[in-house]
């Protein structure tokens, strides 16, 4: 089913969240689709007012149309853990 979304001037387009997770009860990590087969991984921290403190473009294997690929999730987790470890 194709869903049509109308956006009026001044409104924002809803995010196409592919994956979201919490790391160390401190960071929110999510991947948002930005183009076919491309996503943006962002990390926000509760103590920073949930503002994004890190962003990185990532691949979406198979375009993640129905479910995320396990290899993609493993890579995103690795990126997030490396970031968190660098802030200790």
């993609």: which residue's tokens? 72
Confidence (pLDDT) at 59: 92
Q: Could you state, in order of their start, the residue ranges of all structural domains in the chain?
A: 17-86
Confidence (pLDDT) at 88: 73
Tokens of 81: 């853990």
Confidence (pLDDT) at 62: 83
**pLDDT, tens only, 35-81:** 989 999 999 998 878 889 999 999 998 876 777 899 999 999 999 99
pLDDT top residue among 8 and 20? 20
Confidence of residue 12 (pLDDT cuts 50, 70, 90): low
User: 60-80 burial string, b = 16+ CB within 10 Å, else e?
Assistant: beeebeeebbeebbeebeebb
């Amino acid at each position: 089913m194709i869903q049509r979304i109308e956006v009026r001037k001044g409104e924002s387009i809803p995010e196409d969240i592919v994956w979201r997770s919490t790391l160390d009860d401190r960071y929110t990590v999510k991947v948002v689709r930005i183009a076919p087969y491309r996503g943006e991984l962002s990390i926000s921290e509760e103590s920073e007012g949930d503002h994004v403190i890190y962003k990185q473009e990532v691949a979406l294997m198979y375009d993640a149309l129905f479910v995320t690929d396990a290899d993609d999730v493993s890579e995103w987790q690795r990126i997030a853990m490396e970031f968190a470890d660098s802030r200790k």
